[in-house]
């Protein structure tokens, strides 16, 4: 009998750890300038379950790339103070059991970039405590980080 109680307790602890394992909601976005290729490169990383909830109501963690693309384009934007809104090229997305990575780029050959305006609202519509961190880089050197959420969804970033 003691064995069954111990087994039940271990099962209960394992189950409760799984339920409590995703109590925070955050996303990471890296915006970097690749000076040799003259491109702006954007990489987003989010929990796949959070993205699935936002894109398809969470009915399945499989998210179609076109639906993901439309969602990201609606909730994330980069603008140049003089050139206006930058039309980011969709490179693609990858997923695993836990995360989704989204890749975007912009050709900078005809544009001098010292400052950009970033609007970051990914997952703010579905996760009340969502926090999005943006890290800026030039080549491999980290410049700054910005933390955005419901109260502040926009950042002016300098390179």
pTM: 0.83
- 7 Cβ neighbours under 8 A, 6+ residues apart: none
Q: List phi, psi (to 5°) of 56.
A: -130, 20
- Whether the predicted pLDDT of 18 surpasses 50: no
CA distance 19 to 63: 22
Confidence of residue 1 (pLDDT cuts 50, 70, 90): low
Three-state DSSP at 57 gives coil
Name the more confident of 8 and 67: 67
**Residue carrying structure tokens 């003259």:** 38
State what percent of residues in the chain have pLDDT above 70. 86
Q: 46-84 pLDDT, tens per residue?
A: 999 999 999 988 777 888 999 999 999 999 999 999 999
Which one, of 128, 91, 129, 121, lies nearest residue 107 by Cα? Answer: 91
Name the more confident of 35 and 6: 35
Which one, of 110, 114, 152, lies nearest residue 132 by Cα? Answer: 152
């Amino acid at each position: 009998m003691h064995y069954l109680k111990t087994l039940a307790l271990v099962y209960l602890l394992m189950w409760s750890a799984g339920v409590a394992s995703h109590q925070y909601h955050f996303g990471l976005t890296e915006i970097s300038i690749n000076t040799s290729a003259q491109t702006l490169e954007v990489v987003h990383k989010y929990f796949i379950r959070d993205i699935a909830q936002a894109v398809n109501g969470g009915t399945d963690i499989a998210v179609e790339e076109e639906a993901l693309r439309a969602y990201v384009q609606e909730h994330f934007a980069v603008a140049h103070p003089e050139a206006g809104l930058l039309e980011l090229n969709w490179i693609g997305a990858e997923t695993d059991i836990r995360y989704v990575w989204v890749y975007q780029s912009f050709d900078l050959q005809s544009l001098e970039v010292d400052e950009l305006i970033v609007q970051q609202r990914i997952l703010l519509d579905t996760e009340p405590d969502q926090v999005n961190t943006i890290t800026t880089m030039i080549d491999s050197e980290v410049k700054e980080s910005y933390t955005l959420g419901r109260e502040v969804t926009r950042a002016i970033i300098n390179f």
